[in-house]
Amino acid sequence: AFGGNSILNELVAENIAKKLKKTATYCEVCFWKCAAWAHSDEQGNIKKIIGNDIDPHCNGRLCPRGTGGIGMYSDEDRLKTPLIRTTIDGEQTFREASWDEALDLIASKFKQVKDTHGAESIALLKHGSPGKHLEHLFKAYGSDTIAEPAYAQCRGPRETGFALTYGSWVGSPEPTDIRDTKCLVLIGSHIGENMHNTQVQEMSDAIDNGATIITVDPRFSTAASKSQHWLAIKPATDIALMLAWMNVLIEEELYDKEYVDKYCTGFNQLRDHVLNFTPEWAYGITTIKPAEIRKTARAMANAAPSVIIHPGRHVTWYGDDSQRARAMAILNALLGSWGRRGGFYFKESLKVPKFPHPKYPEPKWGWQDIGKKFPLAQMGITTEVMKCAIPTEENHEKYPVKAMMIAGTNITKSIPNKKLLEDAIENLEFIVVLDTMPMDVTGYADIVLPECTYLERYDDIRSSPNREPSIAVRIPAVKPKYDSKPGWWVAKQIGERLGLSEYFKFDDYEEVIEWQLNKLGTSLEEMKKIGVKQFPRKSGSLYLEEGKTHEFATESGKIELYSNQLKSLGFDPIPVFTKHPEPPQGFYRLNYGRAPMHTFSRTANNPNLNDLMNENKLWVNPKVARILDLKTGQKVWLRNQDKVTSTFPIKVRITERIRWDSVYMVHGFGHDNKKLTKAFGKGINDTQMITKVAVDPIMGGTGMRGNFVEILTENPHKTVTI
């Protein structure tokens, strides 16, 4: 009896280090795709995930979400079998189905749509790894009606702005040479909360190296707390600040003359343009003191060319976002940082050869035609694709979207304007969702397909641009749990049912990557052992070389400070400041961002990460709290300018980190699917409050930061019972 505590003995025994199997993978908790080792025990449980030491995306250190990636696998709320929508007693629900039944049904519906409208009418909204496999399926079937939220809700404007200026996208990972920089300027980019791994790691190196950090953010972000200069800017006025910075750099002749002469065009127009945009002018708009603007401009010039005006990443804010990105690009050019050590390096990636398949058919229309209205859109615009499903929308006649597949994106959280989504969904004949979790989006599906997690499947070879090109592989660490299947398998199964077997000439995706790895001069066997492989650069130096010329991929071959292309399209050739609406009396601007331990909505239910933070809070300035008599921890509801009321309440956090004219919350909470047992009803979904969208006329980005909310202390949903 003494010492007979069996649980305890078991736990002690368990603590004795076991032999764990290591499997090479790369992380799918966000799109940084850090390479890692999944450690599993004999019973096939994943115990921990550790970064791959030789991976340039993580240097052996994952971020909290990557470390907590085991929760993506172990979450007991995962989708377990295919589900088909049915009506039982007049109520819509789902019933479990076999894969065969679900896939047959999908194939027959797809054929039906193709026969009546053409394959183009089947749209794909996707994000992340499963998207790649389905994109192949869709293109093979004849549809290029494809879009993802990572463009018009995320990086789009930045890529357009930088492409107009330098002829090249910023891309992911950003080629920012943060580790060697002397001055890092973050404009609404909250690295440290935004946990894109190498960026965070290198910012820390920069702090060690004594770099100056300048943060422009209306909120006291974590990055702001690490900065020598925090410019607490009035929201929506960044372009004015940047114009003033240009004014100082040019007026005080602090810009890199040699660089500008050699590589840029349009300097004179720029100089004339910013002449009147003095710091004093900007002060009235941004509330940042002229002395502070001058001081920071000089700090940047001092550090130049080892200075980075960070292009940001989630940049769809106010509708003039490509222009804001242009301003950032121009500032970098004036400081001579593009192509310089401590500025932006020239990235390089390895081209992975395509596994042989027949040519894709030529679709009659696709995402490009749908987004034609936005002349510089370079990828599909999710909201425009959605609109094509609605008969009253202008594009519907020409580009009728009738069915949709949604994979790896939780559109009700990632795409604003819920009314549009619901109208579209209402009109769609058929929706298939491929996901790992019973997220809100699955509730709109006719068929839900359970994908296994990244830890249980093969996926494409990761080949991303970096200082040195590298590749990484994803090998299944354990067998798929429940009746879930890999995305490639789903694509292939549907493809075969649609008569596209020629496009899927493999039994297991392993064969595809094995073939590709062999072509790249390595092998699956080797990659299983090392996970990541670096290749020598072929494109030349990381930076611009003294005495050599460099041609940029723009029309003029130079960095375009003045954009003829924009001019000819009827847009401002040099950014101008436009005033954006401000919150009316009693309303607060809705600001949102990232928490380091969560990725959008996908991790809210992850047991490990939910344990760190299980709800979002409403940040409120103490002044506002005093006026509204709010207490920390109190539950409140929000109602926005369009009278949309939040489904759930949110707890108040009274903090000096936020302005008195704004409130802030972490994006990705407020889930309304009860099957998410941990995340359901926790906090507010910021996207629900975003009904007013400022569309970027240049590329179609959906500006989401112009929404204003009231704070309600009484439950607006209380029904009076008599």
Residue 314 interacts with ligand SF4 (CB under 6 A)?
no
Is there a contact between 55 and 472 (Cβ–Cβ < 8 Å)? Answer: yes
Closest residue to ligand MGD, based on beta-carbon distance:
188
Partners of residue 534 on adjacent β-strands: 470
Shortest separation between residue 616's beta carbon and other proteins, angstroms? 13
Burial (CB count within 10 angstroms: exposed 0-12, middle 13-18, buried 19+), residue 116: exposed
From residue 377, alpha-carbon distances to 164, 373, 401, 487, 618 in Å are 12, 9, 19, 28, 34
Among 29-37, 81-89, 154-162, 236-244, the segment contacting ligand SF4 (CB under 6 A):
29-37
408: partner contacted, choices ligand SF4, ligand MGD, other proteins, none (Cβ within 5-8 A by kind): ligand MGD
The angle, 0 to 180 degrees and rounded to 10, between the axes of the packed helices 238-251 and 279-286 is 170
Shortest separation between residue 234's beta carbon and other proteins, angstroms? 11
Size of the site for other proteins (CB under 8 A): 61
Separation of alpha carbons 717 and 225, rounded Å: 39
CA-nearest of 436, 455, 437, 453 to 50 is 455
SS3 27: coil
Give just the sign of the alpha carbon dihedral 438, 441, 446, 449: negative
Residue 370 interacts with ligand SF4 (CB under 6 A)?
no
The angle, 0 to 180 degrees and rounded to 10, between the axes of the packed helices 267-274 and 238-251 is 110
Give just the sign of the alpha carbon dihedral 337, 340, 342, 348: positive
Q: Which is nearer to ligand SF4, 58 or 512 (CB)?
A: 58
Residues 197-236 that bind ligand SF4 (CB under 6 A): 197
Among 375-383, 391-399, 447-455, 654-662, the segment contacting other proteins (CB under 8 A):
654-662
Residue 412 interacts with other proteins (CB under 8 A)?
no
Residues 621-650 that bind other proteins (CB under 8 A): 621-622
List of residues 6+ apart from 426 with CB closer than 8 A: none
Q: Which is nearer to ligand MGD, 537 or 580 (CB)?
A: 580
Shortest separation between residue 519's beta carbon and ligand SF4, angstroms? 26
Separation of alpha carbons 126 and 134, rounded Å: 8
Separation of alpha carbons 343 and 341, rounded Å: 5
Q: Which residue of 25, 52, 67, 646 would you call a contact of other proteins, by CB under 8 A?
A: 67
- Alpha-helix residue ranges (DSSP H) falling in 118-144: 129-141
Shortest separation between residue 11's beta carbon and other proteins, angstroms? 5
Query: What are the residues binding Mo ion (CB under 5 A)?
Result: 154, 314
Separation of alpha carbons 85 and 442, rounded Å: 10
Shortest separation between residue 155's beta carbon and ligand MGD, angstroms? 6
Q: Which is nearer to ligand SF4, 532 or 559 (CB)?
A: 532
Shortest separation between residue 153's beta carbon and ligand MGD, angstroms? 4
Helix, strand, coil fractions of the chain, as percent rounded to 5: 35, 20, 50
Shortest separation between residue 613's beta carbon and other proteins, angstroms? 6
Residue 27 interacts with ligand SF4 (CB under 6 A)?
yes
CA-nearest of 227, 244, 331, 226 to 293 is 244
Burial (CB count within 10 angstroms: exposed 0-12, middle 13-18, buried 19+), residue 5: exposed
Mask of contacts with ligand SF4, 591-610, x by CB under 6 A? --------x-----------
List of residues 6+ apart from 630 with CB closer than 8 A: 620, 624, 636, 652, 654, 711, 713
Query: Quick check: bond before 305 cis, omega within 30?
Result: yes
CA-nearest of 181, 296, 310 to 232 is 296
Shortest separation between residue 443's beta carbon and Mo ion, angstroms? 23
201: partner contacted, choices other proteins, ligand MGD, ligand SF4, none (Cβ within 5-8 A by kind): other proteins
Residue 173 interacts with ligand SF4 (CB under 6 A)?
no
Shortest separation between residue 694's beta carbon and other proteins, angstroms? 26
Q: Which residue of 84, 352, 612, 712 would you call a contact of other proteins, by CB under 8 A?
A: 612
Among 75-83, 174-182, 455-463, 602-610, the segment contacting other proteins (CB under 8 A):
602-610
Size of the site for ligand SF4 (CB under 6 A): 15
27: partner contacted, choices other proteins, ligand MGD, ligand SF4, none (Cβ within 5-8 A by kind): ligand SF4
List of residues 6+ apart from 317 with CB closer than 8 A: 188, 236, 324, 694, 703, 704, 705
Q: Which is nearer to other proteins, 231 or 260 (CB)?
A: 231
Q: Which residue of 25, 33, 435, 500 would you call a contact of ligand SF4, by CB under 6 A?
A: 33
Residue 364 interacts with other proteins (CB under 8 A)?
no
Q: Which is nearer to ligand SF4, 62 or 654 (CB)?
A: 62
Separation of alpha carbons 83 and 451, rounded Å: 12
Q: Which residue of 25, 39, 56, 65 would you call a contact of ligand SF4, by CB under 6 A?
A: 65
Residue 128 interacts with ligand SF4 (CB under 6 A)?
no
* b/e per residue 537-555 (b: at least 16 CB within 10 A): eeeeebbbeeeeebebebe
Query: What are the residues binding ligand MGD (CB under 6 A)?
Result: 28, 30-31, 127-128, 130, 149-150, 153-154, 187-190, 194-196, 216-219, 221, 233, 235-236, 238, 312-314, 317, 407-410, 413-414, 434-437, 439, 441, 451, 453-454, 487, 591-594, 596, 598-602, 667-668, 686-687, 690, 704-705
522: partner contacted, choices ligand MGD, other proteins, ligand SF4, none (Cβ within 5-8 A by kind): none
Q: Which residue of 34, 211, 214, 370 would you call a contact of ligand SF4, by CB under 6 A?
A: 34
From residue 202, alpha-carbon distances to 155, 184, 198, 325, 689 in Å are 21, 11, 6, 22, 34
CA-nearest of 360, 352, 349, 357 to 514 is 352
Closest residue to ligand SF4, based on beta-carbon distance:
66
Among 178-186, 277-285, 378-386, 605-613, the segment contacting other proteins (CB under 8 A):
605-613
Among 64-72, 114-122, 270-278, 456-464, the segment contacting other proteins (CB under 8 A):
64-72
Residue 655 interacts with other proteins (CB under 8 A)?
yes
From residue 386, alpha-carbon distances to 2, 348, 406, 458 in Å are 68, 35, 12, 31
Q: Which is nearer to other proteins, 70 or 698 (CB)?
A: 70
Separation of alpha carbons 613 and 64, rounded Å: 12
Separation of alpha carbons 454 and 487, rounded Å: 10
Separation of alpha carbons 446 and 54, rounded Å: 44
Separation of alpha carbons 336 and 257, rounded Å: 9
- Alpha-helix residue ranges (DSSP H) falling in 91-227: 99-117, 129-141, 149-150, 156-166, 197-208, 222-225
Among 24-32, 37-45, 399-407, 673-681, the segment contacting ligand SF4 (CB under 6 A):
24-32
252: partner contacted, choices other proteins, ligand MGD, Mo ion, none (Cβ within 5-8 A by kind): none
611: partner contacted, choices ligand SF4, Mo ion, other proteins, none (Cβ within 5-8 A by kind): other proteins
Among 62-70, 383-391, 499-507, 697-705, the segment contacting other proteins (CB under 8 A):
62-70
DSSP secondary-structure letter at 19?
A: P
Among 146-154, 155-163, 224-232, 515-523, the segment contacting other proteins (CB under 8 A):
224-232
Q: Which two tokens stand for residue 650?
A: 């949110």
From residue 447, alpha-carbon distances to 86, 443, 542, 681 in Å are 10, 10, 48, 24
Residue 30 interacts with ligand SF4 (CB under 6 A)?
yes
**What residue ranges bind other proteins (CB under 8 A)?**
1-5, 7-9, 11-12, 14-15, 17, 47-51, 60-64, 67-68, 70, 192-193, 195, 197, 200-201, 203-205, 207-208, 220, 222, 225-226, 230, 232, 596-597, 607-609, 611-613, 621-622, 653-660
**What residue ranges bind ligand SF4 (CB under 6 A)?**
27, 29-30, 32-34, 58, 62-63, 65-66, 195-197, 599
